[in-house]
Amino acid sequence: MKKMTKNLKYIFEPKSVAIVGASSTANSVGNILMKNLVDGKFPGAIYPINPKYKEILGVKCHNKLTDIKGRLDCVIIVTPAVIVPEIMKDCAKKKVGGIILITSGFEEVGRQDLAKQVKDIAEKNDIPVIGPNCLGVLNPYTKVDSIFLPVYKLGRPKPGSIAFVTQSGAVGSAITDLAAYYGIGISKFISYGNATVLDESDYLEYLLEDKETETIILYMEGAKDGRKLLETMKKVNKVKPIIVLKAGKGKGGQAAARSHTGNIAGSNMAYTAAFRQAKVTEADGINELFDFVKMFSQPKQEGKRIGVITNGGGMGVLTADYIEKEGLELAEFSETTKSELKKLLPSYGNVGNPLDLVADSGVNAYEKAVDIMNNAPEVDILVIIVLFQTPPIDERIVHVLTRVSDDRNKPVATISVGGEYTEAYRKILESNNVPNFNSPSGAIKAVGKWVEYSKYSGHLREK
């Protein structure tokens, strides 16, 4: 498996891609895959394979894989399941680098015989196979896009540092689309489906060595080898944080998972215990997953003293409640910090933490308060609440928040609650890599999880 895992580079960094089952029929899977590579300006060679056509989208079409001269790095298969083993044999003859098997119709429908043939051919020839029954992969850095959903329906995220490994194509597509919408960059997207040849542990191993990846998201329903997963998570999470979303927790969900990818979801208690033992961060739902991801892009901070800035007193009080609930602390300002902050407030204002700049304070007051707390040694983390509805706040606040986040001096979380107007600003902040949350509870829980992981990884460094 180690050689196969290493050979995943031919899937994510190929110089040539063949699509077996390519088609000129609009909106067919084989046609969408061709359009993704051609329109996405994949820089390598593209080889459509289908005896029905002479060319597809202006690219010469071949009857079969073995007609192609020279090396083939990556082969995408979208043919009926019954002929996949024969195509796999052609892949072995061509000594291809890796295979993305989009086709369904294997374990999930009881065709273990076909799955075994695929696995045997792959293992005998050291060919990594992603799938079957998967959505595909995406590498924004190399413009490899085998996601079989059209770009106008599902956005493609920009290059970034977050890798997303998912057992479910549906969940994967939703999260990928949201990431693109909010401007969150990814390093790799891997939909692995039935995990017939390579499983989630193998992808974690690959991403451990991937230079573009800093944080890993794992969505899973069930693992075929729980012990292997536990040991791999322990190893990888020491270096790169893993955020996991586990589905199939109840009996109904477990049954659905079995029919979905052919994997048994297993005991929820066992998985939760394994996640705790490996010190990975478990999210409860897609919204919480995104909240954690935002915070995990920040500088590590083992301290838990938080400085809060707000232009709405009530929001500050709510945030203070959640800080206490999560076992964090409101920072005690030094006399020097208090003296500096007092200069920013009107005569009726009080210096405290949370610092209430009051509703008629503008962007300049925010900028000065942010700088003071960012330089205060007694403050470990900045939480900045901005009510965009107040008249003095304008677009300049985006520059203030982006600058303090880009400084990477301390972890920063921003909170903005509101409707359409606020949501527009939230999207701008997200696209500038500023962690923004639409609730104090979500923000502070994410901060707490990041502090928890920072302490864990910090203790490892000390050893």
| pLDDT tens per residue, range 226-245 | 999 999 999 999 999 999 99
User: Is the pLDDT at 461 greater than 50, yes or no?
Assistant: yes
The domains spanning 2-295 and 305-462 adopt the same CATH topology: yes
Domain ranges (residues) in the chain:
2-295, 305-462
- pLDDT confidence of residue 299: 92
Q: Is the pLDDT of residue 77 over 50?
A: yes
Alpha carbons 210 and 186: distance in angstroms, whole number: 12
Q: Tell me: the pLDDT tens digits for 138-176?
A: 999 999 999 999 999 999 999 999 999 999 999 999 999
Mean pLDDT for the chain overall = 92
Confidence check: pLDDT of 251 > 60? no
Output the pLDDT for position 302.
Answer: 87
3-state secondary structure 43-88: CCEEEEECCCCCEECCEECECCHHHCCCCCCEEEECCCHHHHHHHH
Residue 376 confidence (pLDDT) above 50: yes
Please confirm whether the linkage preceding 354 is cis (ω < 30° from 0).
yes
What share of the chain in percent tops pLDDT 90? 85
Report the predicted TM-score, pTM, of the whole model to 2 decimal places.
Answer: 0.91
- pLDDT tens for 188-230 read 999 999 999 999 999 999 999 999 999 999 999 988 899 999 9
11 has a pLDDT exceeding 50: yes
User: At 291, is the pLDDT very low, low, confident or very high (cuts 50, 70, 90)?
Assistant: very high
Q: How many residues does the chain have?
A: 463
The pLDDT tens digits for 292-331 are 999 999 999 889 999 999 998 899 999 999 999 999 999 9
Over residues 15-40, the pLDDT tens digits come to: 999 999 999 999 999 999 999 999 99
Residue 415 pairs with which residues in a beta bridge?
Answer: 385, 437
pLDDT of residue 266: 56
Superfamily of chain region 2-295: Succinyl-CoA synthetase domains (3.40.50.261)
pLDDT at 53: 95
Range picked from 44-53, 174-183, 223-232, 259-268 for highest mean pLDDT: 44-53
Q: Assess whether pLDDT exceeds 80 at residue 398.
A: yes
* Mean pLDDT, range 374-403, rounded to an integer: 95
Which pLDDT band, with edges at 50, 70 and 90, does 65 fall under? Answer: very high
- Is it the case that residue 268 has pLDDT exceeding 80? no
* Alpha carbons 147 and 177: distance in angstroms, whole number: 12
Domain 305-462 fold:
Rossmann fold (3.40.50)
Six-digit token string for 409: 């001096």
Q: What share of the chain is helix, strand, coil (3-state, %, to 5)?
A: 45, 15, 40
